[in-house]
Chains A and B, each alone.
Chain A
Amino acid sequence: MSMKPLSYNPSDVFVPSKVTGELAKFFIDDLAEPATREAEVIREILKKRAQRNEQITRTTAWATFSEVAASRED
């Protein structure tokens, strides 16, 4: 598969070191608002992670149980 070029330099700063004008207004307005939507996203991630960890714990517990059961049968 051919490699697609992507012409940007990762070392370049992509938000200017000092923001002014319209960009400063964007951030000032944004900072004045509570991060309600962002907090919801984080809550959803925490919920998914907790569910996944529970699933992994259950799978591990079942594998351990199966191993112990098999060794007793031996």
Chain B
Amino acid sequence: MRTFNDFDWEVLDRRKHDVQDFSSGFSVFDEHIRIDAILQQSNGLSQTRVFTNGKHILAYYTAKCTKLQIDDTEQSGIGSKEKTVPAIEIPMLAVDQRLHRQGIGEELLQEILYQSVTISQLVGCRYLFLRAIKLEWLIRWYKDFGFKEIPFEVIDEFTQPMSFKLPTVQELSEEEFESLF
């Protein structure tokens, strides 16, 4: 496994990061970081972070706020008068295909989980949602990180929605909570 000590996570900045060089092998992910991620970020609709050495992008993810709204007749089961459950959505995440099988995917997922749980300790957020490409080994990999398959058929046949329930303040110790910041 390679180490990437010269690389760090930064907010996407098109003046600094070479978005044209990024190549995931899937046009939808590459077009997203070149166009949509920058547009959405400039409008405050989503935020994209990149794993970079200042120029080259090894991996990225886009995150935004979302919510889960349980139907009125069934909301009593969520243990609150609130009908909605706050969540974080990762609409896009990708690793440069030239760096597959070098531990970048794990770095990416750990960063997403770390940042999500940090946010959840500050503002109250119960879920992390993302879509996995429908490959058995990939879904199994996400499950190893505590994700669950959401039993919902999305509009496309290529992805599987996954959920990760963010631990509450009671489920992490005070020391663990402190170490997040």
- Give A residues with C-beta under 8 Å from B: 1, 3-20, 22-28, 30-32, 34-43, 45-46, 48-50, 56, 59
Known A-B contacts A28-B74, A34-B171; the reply to A41 vs B145 at CB < 8 A is yes
Chain B residues touching A, majority SS: mixed
Least CB distance, A71 to chain B, in whole angstroms: 24
Least CB distance, B72 to chain A, in whole angstroms: 9
Contacts of A39 in B (CB 8 A): 167, 171-172
Contacts of B165 in A (CB 8 A): 30-31, 35, 38
Least CB distance, B153 to chain A, in whole angstroms: 10
Assess the A38–B69 pair: CB atoms within 8 A.
Answer: no
Interface residue count on the B side (C-beta < 8 Å): 57
Assess the A6–B180 pair: CB atoms within 8 A.
Answer: no
Known A-B contacts A8-B154, A39-B171; the reply to A3 vs B79 at CB < 8 A is no
Assess the B97–A19 pair: CB atoms within 8 A.
Answer: no
In the bound assembly, the distance between CA atoms of A38 and B127 in angstroms comes to 11
User: Which residues 103-138 of B have a CB within 8 angstroms of A?
Assistant: 110, 113-114, 117, 126, 129, 131, 133
Chain A residues touching B, majority SS: helix
In this complex, the member of A9, A22, A27, A46 whose beta carbon has the largest number of chain B beta carbons within 10 angstroms is A27
In the bound assembly, the distance between CA atoms of A31 and B179 in angstroms comes to 25
- Please name the 5 residue pairs, one residue from A and one from B, whose CB atoms are nearest each other, closest first: A28-B77, A8-B156, A3-B27, A39-B167, A41-B146
Assess the A31–B85 pair: CB atoms within 8 A.
Answer: yes
User: Which residues 67-121 of B have a CB within 8 angstroms of A?
Assistant: 68-71, 74, 77-79, 85, 87, 89, 91-92, 97, 110, 113-114, 117
Assess the A14–B69 pair: CB atoms within 8 A.
Answer: no
Assess the B28–A28 pair: CB atoms within 8 A.
Answer: no
Contacts of B146 in A (CB 8 A): 37-38, 40-41
